[in-house]
Structure 1
Amino acid sequence: MADWVIARRGPGRDAIRQPFENLLAGYDSEHAQWVTAFPVDSIAPKLNTATRDHFLRLSRQARLPPPRYHLDAILAAVPRSSKLWLVDNQARWSGDTPLADIATFWSDDSTQRELTVIDPPDHLGPALAHAVARLAIHSPRASFLVDVARWQPFLTTLSSASPSAADLRLPSLRALGGDPSILNSIVCAPNDLAADINRRLDSWLLEAVDRHLKRYISHAEDPGHLVSFVAAADIREQMGPTWQGWIHRFRTEPGLLPRFFGLAVCAKDDEQAGLEGTVLAGRLLLKPLIRACAVALTVATTWQVIAPRDSRPGNLRRDINGTVRSGHTCAATFIDNEDMAIMALRHAWTTEFVLLPMQSAPTAMIMEANHSLSNTSDVIPLLGQSGVGLPPWGDPVGMLVHAWPAGHRWR
């Protein structure tokens, strides 16, 4: 029986106690029970305020370093800085965040980040300027030190004033400072740097979409109702292998994933709109990206002949006995600043079929959508039909637009 129990909590505690392992067997559980039996006696000793202030003053006089946990807190509060600028027509990236880790700008951790961009967007060139805009717009806790007067209009058009998306905010912009970042430097052609940035951000998006769709396919789980419709179990069972095939193609075929994601959030399919779609395809629009992928995957699983497309028009292709039909899966919020549900039937789509995973739609469109699912025209096959033997599809002007309201159940 002990009169006093002293728990040593200094450094190297485990090594010091190692010779006494047999004696201390079961100590942790017995000590936990003792603490509950004697709550007052088990309180850890604590310095009174006057004593603490005395030793704090002595430690400062001796210039002792602060505790490690204080240093960790200070380091966590210091922003991780990076820098981008042009040097002899080459783009140079450097700073605390290596280019290989650029997708961490989109992470949910509490780390503050800063990116200094010396040159204005027109000097960087369209590809790199839009890659920087994509990084900035979808970064939750990052500040951007730029020539505000020249960057703000460019970023506003692609974010808060975007004609194709809602709920995007203008990034935090500050005037340029003197940050001489020299770590992790890399120098390459501006277009090569833009491609590298976009490739790493696309990989981040694909992993996020893949995580959600795997839960939906395997367990019918849809956190946040991002998919927004319920597929029958037998369809979800077939979706798994199809999705894995798509994943393999997205990771091995350059240009396929950027095109698919860009058109999933932007209805316009031309070269200039392609840059806009690339910027919009980011962390803040993950929900419509998941929805567009889910609808396309469900239809592809049922028709069996639909796959992603890497060239214009559209981001989908449907092969029937060697005849290729072009398609477009799109979950954009707006088309030229008008609501997608209103504009969908009037928009000049460039493909022969369109998949629109609508959250809500006007009554007329809902009726059209339900009609197309249950009693299609001669040129649009029902789900489950291969389409073999059907007459050729008409030109894009006469195509039918499929729309699925929220809550629709696939059977």
Structure 2
Amino acid sequence: MTGESPGMAEQMKEPEEEAAAGSRPAPPPPAARPLARRFRVWAPPAVLLVAALGAVQLIRPLPDPRFTVAGDPYTFTGEAFTMPWPEEGQAAARVVGTGSLGTHGEQKPVPTASVAKVMTAYVILKEHPLKSGEEGERITVDATAAKEAGAQEESRVEVSEGQTYTLFQMLQMLLIPSGNNIARQLARWDAGSEDAFVKKMNEAARELGMDDTTYTDPSGLDASTVSTAADQVKLAEEVMKNAVLRKIVKMPNADVPGLPGRIYNNNDDLLVTNPGGLGIKTGSSGPAGGALMWAAKRTIEGEERLIVGATMAQRQAGSDDANAHLKVVKERSYKMIKAVQDALVPATVVRKGDVVGHVDDGLGGRTPVVATADLRAVGWGGLKAEPELTAGGKGIPHEAGAGTEVGTLAVGTGPGRAQVPVALQKDLAAPGAGARLTRLG
């Protein structure tokens, strides 16, 4: 027989079918099929999302660069300075541009006596500014000021109703012989009433951060006009910025046309004793004892260094005499003034070329900055000078070449502190793509 039997045909087909089946993958399990389809559906959007996020990272604004300071504070050498504080009352002092010398005694509000007249003068010149050499408006003495000129129980200046004096002359009469009647006259002239002027005094105190000070009258005769030594130092520093006030408070005496005689400063002996003495204002009364807001200077390396302070609630033991209290406060203040003047020394805090800090680009990059000149400062033994880096008016750049000035290095506090420009030690480059892509936040 030539034909194949059905059984043999089926036996021959089975191996062929098995071979064909082995040549293609087995179909996925039913559960895997949806996952594969999801991958094919979501993969392209995911790739686009990652690409979009990367693009966003690359075009996001860069963080503002900032300075970090390198190194430790500079400590002035020599024996640590100790201020000869008075044994009673309270006191405070600072070297303008350098820093605080500290405070002594509990800084609680106490009567200021005539030291309050400094705020009176400060407010008057805020409202009626004078330039150096100017006399200002003429002020007519009213009946009240003339009547008060005869008061025997308080300091006053002998003026008569109808007399006129320039603003500068009135300020001389206020601050040199400490005329209470002149303080009240100026208050009425400026604000219309003494109460309205006192409101201005307290507003000015708040602006200067004198939070423990309350004025209730323009002369300081009221025992309810109170302050602290620390607050009065804030005012002293501000007052000494004014050329007119600075000129008046250091006058030992003055001749004012129209007055019966020369007027004398209660600071006269202190100014004469101390060549660097600059005033500012005495005060004395039973409630206040002796009080003094003071200023002095010392010239170092051709530059005048200003020292300001306040000494309050000083008393002559066993005495009720206000003048005795005044003598004590001047003696004790002079000891502090002389000690500070003698203690001040210059030093090179940083040398030209020293690495003083870095520009931190906010994404891990740090570029060193160096001082462009020696930084000379004034201090006293034991003082730690904390360096501070500040950017220029245009801020810190994201990129710039080596040698570019990018800010200043300073030590001290407030106007007049010592400072020098700083420059990049090497090129400052903007953060690269890698840093931008991996940034957080």
TM-score by length of 2: 0.18
Q: Structure with the greater relative contact order (CA < 8 A, sep ≥ 6): 1 or 2?
A: 2
Higher-helix-fraction structure: 1
Larger radius of gyration: 2
